[in-house]
Structure 1
Amino acid sequence: MNEKRQHLLETALQLFYHYGVQAVGINEILKTSGIAKKTLYHHFPSKDELVIAALSMRDERYCAWFEGLLVGSASNDELAERIFNGLSQWFNDEVGSLDKFRGCFFINTSAEYSDASCPISIRCKEHKQRIKAIIARHLVEPDETYLEFLCTLKEGAIVLAYVCQDKQAAEKAYATVRKFISK
């Protein structure tokens, strides 16, 4: 990837994740990155295209991290434990590749775009579908109900960790999983 394009993306992702997509203008990205407007528009003809590229970059990083958590799970219970232990690490800023926890970039960005048919909203939905597929792939015993249960608890834990500043949300979600398994 072109070095200037990469720098623009890194800068945009950091600013968007920290402040929100709508709150960050092109001029702030240019000032922070030190890159000329002409160069930015050469790589990204519109802000929306820059946002989609930032979402794609975050998707790759997040999915690589998340997939790494799940590799080698010996049971569905161990898979759940790995998911929620990983989330706890993320919520507590122990995952350097994901930056300081500011909630889910895809949930946050989706909330800023109310039109579900716009490319940015679609990209956010695709990320959630990709995460669900990763979990499904690592289920030792495939179970659609359990998959939905894990995905719903995972998303809820992320929201609670950010909105309510509940750094124990992942542990609480995993306790719920344990109750579900014991029935």
Structure 2
Amino acid sequence: MNEKKLILIQTALPLFYTHGINSVGINEILKQSGIAKKTLYNHFSSKDDLVLATLKYRNNTFNQWFKVVLDSELTGQKSILAMFYRLDEWFNNEVPELNQFRGCFFINAMAEYSVTDSPIRQYCRAHKQEIRSLIKNKISLFIQDPEEANTLTDIIFMLKEGAIVSALVEGNHKAGKACIPAVKKLLNLN
């Protein structure tokens, strides 16, 4: 990737994540990055194009972290438990590559875009589907029935999403660990 394009993405992402996409103007990104407006528009046709690039960048960063979390354990059940323990590390700003916790960038971005078929919302949905798929891969290691695996995946995914929202909205930085008793019951680990 072109160095200036990367600088623009790496400058815009924390600004969008911290302040909200609609609250950050192009001029602020240009000022912080030190890059000229013409250069920005050589790489991005619009602010939405830049937003989409930041979502893709965050997707890569988040998914790399998430895969490491899931792969940190040898069994599918322990991988799912590890996910909830490690969410609290993110909520407590102990995962430097994910920046200071401000909720889920994809949920936040979807909330700012009201047009349901916009490329931004479509990309956010695709991110969530990818995360759900990673969870399902671990669940499929210990549940062979596809319907049962889908049902458990849906429940685990919603618990994870709820923990993220609780950590942001309520300031509950132990929301991941708070899910552990329910997750253990779901996984028959009691």
* TM exceeding 0.5: yes
- The aligned counterpart of 1:51 is 51
Measure how far apart 1:93 and its partner are.
0.5
Structure 1 length as normaliser, TM-score? 0.96
Equivalence for 2:115: 115
- Displacement after TM superposition at 1:76 (Å): 3.3
Deviation string 1:59-89 (CA, Å, 9 cap, x unpaired) is 0000000001111533332022111011011
SS at match of 1:102: coil
Cα shift at 1:8: 0.3
Unaligned runs of 5+ in 2: 144-148
Unaligned runs of 5+ in 1: none
The 10-residue stretch of structure 1 (43-52 or 77-86) with the greater mean CA deviation from structure 2 = 77-86
**1:94 correspondence with 2:94:** yes
SS at match of 2:114: coil
Q: Is the 8 A contact 1:80 1:174 kept in 2?
A: no
What is residue 172 of structure 1 aligned with on the other side? 178
Determine if contact 1:88/1:168 at 8 Å carries over to the other structure. yes
Paired letter, 1:180 = L
Q: Give distance in 1, aligned partners of 2:79 and 2:114.
A: 33
Q: Are 1:73 and 1:138, in contact at CA under 8 Å, matched by a contact in 2?
A: no
Structure 2: distance between partners of 1:180 and 1:4: 47
Q: Distance in 1 between matches of 2:121 and 2:25?
A: 19
Q: Corresponding residue for 2:146?
A: none
Distance 1:76 1:153 in 2: 17
Q: Give 3-state SS (helix, strand or coil) of 2:94's partner.
A: coil
Asked if the contact 2:30–2:36 (Cα under 8 Å) also holds between the matched residues in 1, the reply is yes
Partner deviation per Cα, 1:77-136 (whole Å, 9 max, x = no partner): 202211101101100111011001000000001001111100001011010001011111
| Structure 1 stretch displaced more, 82-91 or 71-80 | 71-80
Secondary structure in 1 aligned to 2:83? helix
Deviation of 1:159 (Å) = 0.2
| 1:149 maps to 2:155 | yes
**What is the distance in 2 between the residues matched to 1:163 and 1:130?**
24
* DSSP-derived class of the 2:74 partner: coil
**TM-score with structure 2 setting the length:** 0.92
Mean alpha-carbon deviation: is it higher for 170-179 or for 108-117?
170-179
* Deviations 1:130-166, CA, capped at 9 Å, x for gaps: 1011111222224111111110000000000001100
With over 3 angstroms needed to count, the CA separation of the structure-2 counterparts of 1:63 and 1:109, relative to structure 1, is same
Residue in 2 that maps onto 1:105: 105
